[in-house]
Structure 1
Amino acid sequence: MDFPYSRLRRWPDVEADNLQAHDATDLLLVERALALDVAGREIAVIGDEYGAITLALTDAGLDGLRVHQDLATGRRALDRNADELGLVGFSGHELDATLLDGARLVLVQLPKALAELEEIADAVARWAAADAVLVAGGRVKHMTIAQNEVLGRSFSHVQAQRAERKSRLVVASDPRTVPEKPPFPVTERHDGLVLVAHGGAFAGPKLDIGTRVLLEVLGLGDPQLRKNATGSVEKAPNRPDAARSSGVVDGEQPSPAPVVVDLGCGTGALAASYALAHPDSRVIATDRSAAAVASARATMAANGVDDRVVVMHDDAGSELADASADVVLLNPPFHLGSSVHTGAATRLFEAAARILRPGGELFTVYNSSLGYRAELTRLVGATEQLERTPKFTVTRSIRR
């Protein structure tokens, strides 16, 4: 086949000379699928980052493919690339029975997290056809024996293939009988805060170190900030008051309650903690990961604040209006997939600058070695350091 992979774009994800919209693993998965000669309606594709697998197979004449992409950026890139190439005949799904029911071949770009792979493997064994074959692929340098072991929990036969073009396929077949209860989501308690996580959510049900530092700086990690039995809230001394501003909803109409955005919310630790500590605030949690969004919604329900926190699957707050927020809380990633790249953080800084009203506050925690303060000042406004530990720095930026 002669599919025009070079025409694919990553947009709206970060684009750079060293970042591509396809790799050799995509090509191997496509070649294997075509060699197996399975009907398109019996194929499910999981983790197709920008649509290379789905569109190449569709271009080859396979109709009715079902695809699950965790990232909102990937979903938008797939749609954009499909429009550019004039390709139709596939459908997007969440990681559920609608994706996998009757599927005989499941193609998977191996995720970085073993927990995410475990949830995927269980879902395939749980909902796909009884004779389903899972073909997973990845770059050799990122593959481990542990991935085979995870697949072996859900499939009786797991066989690694010979490496080609620095990529390798692993074929899993003969699905095992699954337990009555799926392995995810999982729940963990942290001093009054409950976190719920699906396999693909960063840090799982743990409270990651950076988030913990930001919570402490904001006073949200202190017991006296939790609602007490009478419903009152006490502010810890010597902490910044991140909810002091009056709210703005759409850039024009005033709101009686501050609008606080947890940008890149993950499992929702910041949003839930803020909602518990400031019951008069309007809190929005947004993340580009579907696994994170499902986790955050479950976290809000577990903490009893789901009626006061809106959780959105979105790319860098793109569905939030300009000048619509009083406060943004941000713990930005410093990886794009398996690559270390600051572009993801820059996009979130730009998003925060756009959605904050003038005078609004951005609270950011980041790895101290990255030195984002100058960039935050340039993109958002005057930035001061609130805390610095050996690993993390917390800053407050005032939107100019």
Structure 2
Amino acid sequence: MKPELTLHQRTLTLTRFPVRKNETLQAWDAADEYLINHCHTIDIDPLRPILILNDNFGALSCWFANQAPVTTVTDSFITQQAIINNLNANNLPAATIIDCLAELPENPQLVLIKQPKNNRLLSWQLQQLCHLLPQDCVVITTGKAKEIHSSTLKLFEKYLGTTKTSLAVKKARLIFTTVNKSLAMPMPQPTSWTVPEHDLTMTNYANVFSSDSLDIGGRFLLDFIPSKPQYKDIIDLGCGNGVIGIKAARLNPHANVTGVDESFMAVASCRENAQLNLASTKNFNVMVANCLDDFNNQSADLVLCNPPFHQNNTITDHIAWQMFCDAQRVLRQNGELIIIGNRQLQYHEKLNRIFTKVDTIGHNDKFVVLRAIK
């Protein structure tokens, strides 16, 4: 796959993250191109901020970085790293990169939104923008035409202002919204719900997987979390709202438990849920990272994981594979990796390539729980 995006006599070299050998996917899509082409006709004030939301790998941030001060908002640590890398690779000015819970810059001239997969996050962001944006701010959203539904447009109308769409080009579409400050309303609070069979009360920010209930995979995995006195260090890899790590901490109060996720909203949810559900959080830590990049070799006894099988809108197993390889590296001798996955994903075949022993310790019609021993 060629990494060069060329438009309007200008070329950017863009790389997807995490970097993979023999990458078959490019770091931008037709929606990015459509938005860039449209904005080529807009007069941009070089001193007034441009605000970019949900840029996947930095195509939009890189394109506009030398035109005005750019602030990019993302919930993804991996996206942050991609944007920084791609800006540097193209010798472009630095952008200000913030997470979705941070305060937005004042008085932007232009807001560019890459439609997120999660409508809860989109609603959160539109409400945040309605409080902030001046009346003269231009707001343009881009996404795949098949994913822009009438219900999507109703969210823009409800939370931000009058909305219209473009014609589709290369299966992408633009959404144009005029800011209506009278629609501003109090920001929504994180959702909250209980898991009574495990005596847990959970809260989720907008972009956390399964925002208003415990997902069925996580619920099934809760019954297979072990309690052993020899566990000193436990990792909840891809922790989401932290339900797995919190249960592990309750079962192993003598152990240090660390929740890891690449989503800033997930980490914020996990941290709040630990405070809500644990008598003490002294041995419970949470961090944002790309898998286990920041962990030392042979530093954990147990890794628990409910791996994702998509990145943004792309179905892929490369994140799960990186999680498995990282867990193998980080586990001590005889350490255990316990994962849950859909039966058809055949994770045991991958685990058998890098672990000494792989057992099925639980299953139902939809899921299988596997334990791999180093």
TM-score norm. by structure 2 comes to: 0.91
**Counterpart position of 1:294:** 268
Read off the aligned partner of 1:371 and give its amino acid letter: Q
**Counterpart position of 1:397:** 372
Deviation at 1:306, TM superposition (A): 4.0
Measured in 2, the distance between the counterparts of 1:189 and 1:137 equals 36
1:279-330 CA deviation, whole Å, 9 max, x = no partner?
2221100111122112212222222454432111100111111111111000
Deviation at 1:25, TM superposition (A): 1.0
CA distance 1:140–1:18, shift in 2 (3 Å): farther
CA distance 1:284–1:44, shift in 2 (3 Å): same
Deviation at 1:342, TM superposition (A): 1.2
Query: Among 17, 33, 36, which residue is 2:42 paired with?
Result: 36
Q: Give the alignment of 1:180-191 within 5 angstroms.
A: 181-191=186-196
Is the contact made by 1:332 and 1:366 (CA closer than 8 Å) also made in structure 2? yes
Is the contact made by 1:387 and 1:393 (CA closer than 8 Å) also made in structure 2? yes
Query: Among 230, 238, 251, which residue is 1:245 paired with?
Result: 230
**Counterpart position of 2:5:** none
Read off the aligned partner of 1:200 and give its amino acid letter: N
Is the contact made by 2:49 and 2:68 (CA closer than 8 Å) also made in structure 1? no
**Counterpart position of 2:15:** 9
Deviation at 1:17, TM superposition (A): 4.4
Is the contact made by 1:184 and 1:197 (CA closer than 8 Å) also made in structure 2? no
Number of aligned positions between the proteins: 363
Q: Give the alignment of 1:373-388 within 5 angstroms.
A: 373-388=348-363
Is the contact made by 1:297 and 1:306 (CA closer than 8 Å) also made in structure 2? no
Q: Give the alignment of 1:56-71 within 5 angstroms.
A: 56-58=63-65, 61-71=66-76
Matched residue SS, 1:73: helix
1:260 maps to 2:234: yes
Extract unaligned runs of 5+ from structure 2.
Answer: 1-7
Query: Among 247, 250, 271, which residue is 1:273 paired with?
Result: 247
Is the contact made by 1:64 and 1:90 (CA closer than 8 Å) also made in structure 2? yes
1:149-205 CA deviation, whole Å, 9 max, x = no partner?
112221220111111121101112223446663114221121121221111111113
CA distance 1:268–1:177, shift in 2 (3 Å): farther
**Counterpart position of 1:158:** 163
CA distance 1:331–1:118, shift in 2 (3 Å): same
Deviation at 1:212, TM superposition (A): 0.7
CA distance 1:280–1:23, shift in 2 (3 Å): same
Query: Among 121, 129, 139, which residue is 2:144 paired with?
Result: 139
Measured in 2, the distance between the counterparts of 1:128 and 1:301 equals 34
**Counterpart position of 2:291:** 316
1:87-115 CA deviation, whole Å, 9 max, x = no partner?
11421112256334222321111011110
Deviation at 1:14, TM superposition (A): 5.0
State the 4+ residue runs in structure 1 displaced beyond 6 angstroms. none
**Counterpart position of 2:319:** 344
Identity %: 26
CA distance 1:167–1:217, shift in 2 (3 Å): same
Matched residue SS, 2:86: helix
Deviation at 1:29, TM superposition (A): 2.1
RMSD: 1.9
Measured in 2, the distance between the counterparts of 1:194 and 1:16 equals 44
Read off the aligned partner of 2:220 and give its amino acid letter: V
